Amino acid sequence: MTDLKVAAAQFAVSDDWHTNIDQILPLIARAESDGIDLLVLPEGVLVRFMGEKERIRYASQPLDGPFITELRAATHGLRVTVVLGIHEKTDAERPFNTLVALRGGEIVHLYRKTHLYDAFDARESDNILAADVVPELLEVNGFQVGLMTCYDVRFPELARLLAVKGADVIVLPAAWAKGPSKEFHWSTLVSARALDNTVYVVASGESGATCIGRSMIVDPLGIPIVQALAGPEMITATISRSRLDAARSSLPVLANRRFDVDPTPRALAGASVSSVPSSVSL
């Protein structure tokens, strides 16, 4: 494939997972109707996790729970690949913050968040387990796609590891909290990760009372192709193999790099790191 049609959709996540299903299903149907190859939805769309953050402990669901089961059914027979974030119930007290990729009624890929948002007076690690596995790549119509979640974008080594693995595109579901200069942080970091690694970045940000929205699709030279505002919206773009190749030819940062990134995980300050096998049985 020489082109890939991508979309990033944003909406305000509800406290009720049934309501969130009702918001997601039309987005999937619209993406399929529009010929979208890859639809990226925000982080944590199972239930809203701002405010009473402990809710995600008891509102989380396993991968075979009703939320993902219903979404799997919705993608059955469709060609679009859908990436979204949920809080995945585990045998431990805390869930994982997990990205799930769905295609043709199946789970085709998983990524469990590695960098937890213990910043700006927030402590995601109080309620979430951190994984320590660099995600593998997801193939979508001949393009190699890497996955990161929200706060991960502040850590350039993860994006570099994905690019070195061969990523053409990085998807970034997020629930980027509002705050002083946060829109600037978001737009700068998303564009920087694209430019650092000459990859496309498809970033979906939750909208609503506590999050900025501002979904973006950025090209391999860090130039935003299309950007959303703060409200519910779907943005689309066509990713071009020739544009990717031209960017890497004129700016060969991957070929010119002098140092490799060590993927050995470090323990979180004040929280344990939980190992996740690199090959997950679905």
For the annotated catalytic residues, the residue numbers are 43, 113, 150
Backbone conformation region of residue 30, classed left if phi is above 0, alpha if psi is from -120 to 50, else beta: alpha
Closest CA to 49 of 155, 171, 154, 173: 173
Give the list of residues 6+ apart from residue 282 with CB closer than 8 angstroms, or none. 63, 106, 107, 110
Directed axis angle between helix 17-33 and helix 66-75, to 10°? Answer: 20
Give the list of residues 6+ apart from residue 181 with CB closer than 8 angstroms, or none. none
User: What CA–CA distance (Å, rounded) separates 252 from 255?
Assistant: 5
Asked whether 192 and 161 are in contact (CB, 8 A), the reply is no
Helices assigned H by DSSP within 90-169: 156-165
Asked whether 93 and 49 are in contact (CB, 8 A), the reply is no
| Helix or strand run (H / E) with residue 195 | helix 182-197
User: What CA–CA distance (Å, rounded) separates 236 from 139?
Assistant: 19
